[in-house]
Amino acid sequence: MEKKPRLELDTEEHIPVESIATSSKPSTAVKPKTQSKRSKRRQKHTLPEAGTLEDVIFHEVTELLGKAAVDEAIAAGTEWNAPFEAREEVDLTVTSMSANGEGLAIAPASKRPWVVVTPFSLPGETIRARVYRHGRMYSHADLISVDTPNPELRDMGRVQCQYFGKCAGCQYQMLSYEAQLKLKRDVVVRAYKTYSELPDSAIPPILDTIGSPLQYGYRTKITPHFDAPPKKAQKQGPAPDGEKPDWLKIGFNQIGTRHVMDIEECPIATPVLNETFRPLREKISRDIYTYKKGVSLLLRDSLEIPSDSAVAPPPLPTSDEKHICVTDHRATVRERVGDKLFEYQAGSFFQNNNSVLIPLTAYVRDAIFPPAATATPAPGAPPPTHLVDAYCGAGLFAIALAPHFATVAGIELSADSIRFAARNAALNALPAGRCDFRSGDAANIFGVVGEFPPPRTVAVVDPPRKGCDDNFLRQLVDFGAGTVVYVSCNVHTQARDVGRILRWSEARGEGKGRYMLESLRGFDLFPQTAHVESVAVLRMVY
């Protein structure tokens, strides 16, 4: 069969393995007993923290090779010794996908049990790949060619970006949207199987992933970057014609490297971001010799904020709402989610896909107030009246849901975000006193909501990727809110935390109730990428 080098990569330099270690925690598994040459070498390796990408890959690799093969390699001290020469090329058959959207293949039979992780490859495909970096029982590789494509999954005609296959941003443009959503559901299934430590009977059937209304042109924030002129170029100075120098790349990282790729447009970004990026690139090209350091740019899609602040914003979107691009980290950005307006500081956290925020907030609302026919709480149980929004940011969930509650308390580490959350309550004309926002560690909220009636309280929990700490989870379980909705950008740490909540709630004592996991599903906030957001609904049952 003719080989089709569809996705050629320039693979000159990659990130060295040491620089991607995510934890400084020493590995217990590789602690040296003696200072032999080998143990000195092994000492360099660190085990990643649970739920990080490296840890997730190791679990996937263990599943693929079988625990016995992995245990044998650990016992023999060979789990970090890749069976490859530097930059060796191998022919592989991809068997499954990693949570990071890369193809996983067992190394050829001539090698020790080992897995090769190759981006842009799909299950069922035979590929040629070049290994370049090694982890624990696996190696990362660049895709050289897809020799036998999977015709049911791959259609390169779907790809809308000229940089696809090199840029680290997207993994899935060759897939139908349906296939992307299915892969994301599989990630949720596997995360709960691996990280929750719950019996199968405690995990409900994982529902289909809810898609994003926009699948391109949705990303409301991009952060392209560029390096300062190298010394040699500084000396030479600008070209007489003022042309962009060849060495200058303004864009995103090339996959597997820290090299910046020159990117002129990003089709997953909103139109106004691309319209602004073009002239911004030209200006940077002209001024590049004034930069002494590399820069990470910020481009945020915002509604234009009327200069006359006395003009009340219209309650529903109008066709003349103008989108602008904000590039100053400290400037105010405005977004609309249904009939609510949100403002926040451009450099602080806000969800990056506005189009999915109506379905997401509506889903959380419906989970809290289920239609009578599907309600889990005892029929006739009084509806929730109090809301706790932990990790509330600029108040997305608190404010979207506030009309349904008598009292809302939000907490968030960023004082800037809290300032905007309070402002957003006023911007949306919520009754004074309904929402109380405060800055601080999420666990501190339980010192504030002592008067909230637990059975009629809902806790929305939306932590950063590392999930919640045990102090927060203990207090959450002790408080015993009738409903917990846990929204997460890292389903692996979510699965770990949900497992803890369920187990710890068993010890609440006779008649005090325990949590059950009522429903679980992914939301697609980032189409064309492997990322999945996960929403778990937990209910206190007696």
Ligand X SMILES: C[S@@+](CC[C@H](N)C(=O)[O-])C[C@H]1O[C@@H](n2cnc3c(N)ncnc32)[C@H](O)[C@@H]1O
Interactions with ligand X, residue window 444-463 (CB under 6 A): 462-463
How many CA atoms lie within 13 Å of 148's alpha carbon, on the beta-carbon side?
9
DSSP collapsed to 3 states, 442-462: HHHHHHCCCCCCHHHEEEEEC
Question: Is residue 338 near ligand X by the rule CB under 6 A?
Answer: no
Pairing of strands 457-461, 126-134: unpaired
Contacts of 357 (CB under 8 A, 6+ apart): 335, 337, 351, 396
How many CA atoms lie within 13 Å of 66's alpha carbon, on the beta-carbon side?
5
Which residue, judged by CB position, is nearest to ligand X in the bound state?
393
Which residue's entry shows tokens 């004309």?
Answer: 429
Q: Catalytic site residue 489? A: yes
**What's the closest the beta carbon of residue 125 comes to ligand X, in angstroms?**
34
**What's the closest the beta carbon of residue 315 comes to ligand X, in angstroms?**
21
Give the orientation angle of helix 491-505 with respect to helix 470-479, to 10 degrees: 50
**What's the closest the beta carbon of residue 294 comes to ligand X, in angstroms?**
25
Contacts of 67 (CB under 8 A, 6+ apart): none
Of 113 and 393, the one with the shorter C-beta distance to ligand X is: 393
- Identified catalytic residue from 161, 392, 468, 489: 489
Contact 6, 173 (CB under 8 A): no
533's tokens? 């957001």
CA–CA separation, 104 and 91 (whole Å): 13
Which residue's entry shows tokens 């924030």?
Answer: 221
**Count of Cβ atoms closer than 10 Å to residue 68 Cβ:** 9
φ, ψ at 459 (rounded to 5°): -110, 120
Give the orientation angle of helix 177-195 with respect to helix 491-505, to 10 degrees: 40
CA–CA separation, 438 and 449 (whole Å): 12
Element containing residue 412 per DSSP (H, E):
strand 407-412
Question: Is residue 442 near ligand X by the rule CB under 6 A?
Answer: yes
Question: Is residue 464 near ligand X by the rule CB under 6 A?
Answer: yes
**What's the closest the beta carbon of residue 433 comes to ligand X, in angstroms?**
22
Question: Is residue 121 near ligand X by the rule CB under 6 A?
Answer: no
Element containing residue 73 per DSSP (H, E):
helix 67-76
Of 144 and 468, the one with the shorter C-beta distance to ligand X is: 468
**What's the closest the beta carbon of residue 490 comes to ligand X, in angstroms?**
9
Burial (CB count within 10 angstroms: exposed 0-12, middle 13-18, buried 19+), residue 15: middle
Sequence length of the chain is 542
Of 161 and 187, the one with the shorter C-beta distance to ligand X is: 187
The one segment of 26-34, 47-55, 96-104, 349-357 that binds ligand X by CB under 6 A: 349-357
Of 284 and 485, the one with the shorter C-beta distance to ligand X is: 485
**What's the closest the beta carbon of residue 417 comes to ligand X, in angstroms?**
5
- Judged by CB under 6 A, the residue of 80, 120, 172, 350 near ligand X is 350
**What's the closest the beta carbon of residue 414 comes to ligand X, in angstroms?**
4
Of 351 and 483, the one with the shorter C-beta distance to ligand X is: 351
CA–CA separation, 340 and 427 (whole Å): 9
Of 417 and 528, the one with the shorter C-beta distance to ligand X is: 417
Measured CA angle at 466 (ends 415, 513), to 5 deg: 95
CA–CA separation, 129 and 518 (whole Å): 43
Q: Catalytic site residue 12? A: no
Interactions with ligand X, residue window 358-417 (CB under 6 A): 391-393, 396-397, 411-414, 417
Question: Is residue 51 near ligand X by the rule CB under 6 A?
Answer: no
- Judged by CB under 6 A, the residue of 63, 186, 227, 441 near ligand X is 441
**What's the closest the beta carbon of residue 212 comes to ligand X, in angstroms?**
15
Question: Is residue 437 near ligand X by the rule CB under 6 A?
Answer: no
Question: Is residue 50 near ligand X by the rule CB under 6 A?
Answer: no
**What's the closest the beta carbon of residue 176 comes to ligand X, in angstroms?**
28
202's tokens? 């405690």
Of 230 and 464, the one with the shorter C-beta distance to ligand X is: 464
Of 131 and 476, the one with the shorter C-beta distance to ligand X is: 476
φ, ψ at 333 (rounded to 5°): -110, 145
**What's the closest the beta carbon of residue 395 comes to ligand X, in angstroms?**
8
Of 391 and 446, the one with the shorter C-beta distance to ligand X is: 391
Closest CA to 57 of 25, 92, 99: 99
222's tokens? 């991009």
Question: Is residue 349 near ligand X by the rule CB under 6 A?
Answer: yes
Of 139 and 417, the one with the shorter C-beta distance to ligand X is: 417
Question: Is residue 301 near ligand X by the rule CB under 6 A?
Answer: no
State the binding string over 474-493 for ligand X (x if CB under 6 A, else -): ---------------x----
CA–CA separation, 23 and 46 (whole Å): 7
- Identified catalytic residue from 54, 335, 412, 533: 533
Residues forming the active site: 489, 533
Q: Contact positions toward ligand X, by CB under 6 A?
A: 349-351, 391-393, 396-397, 411-414, 417, 441-442, 462-464, 489
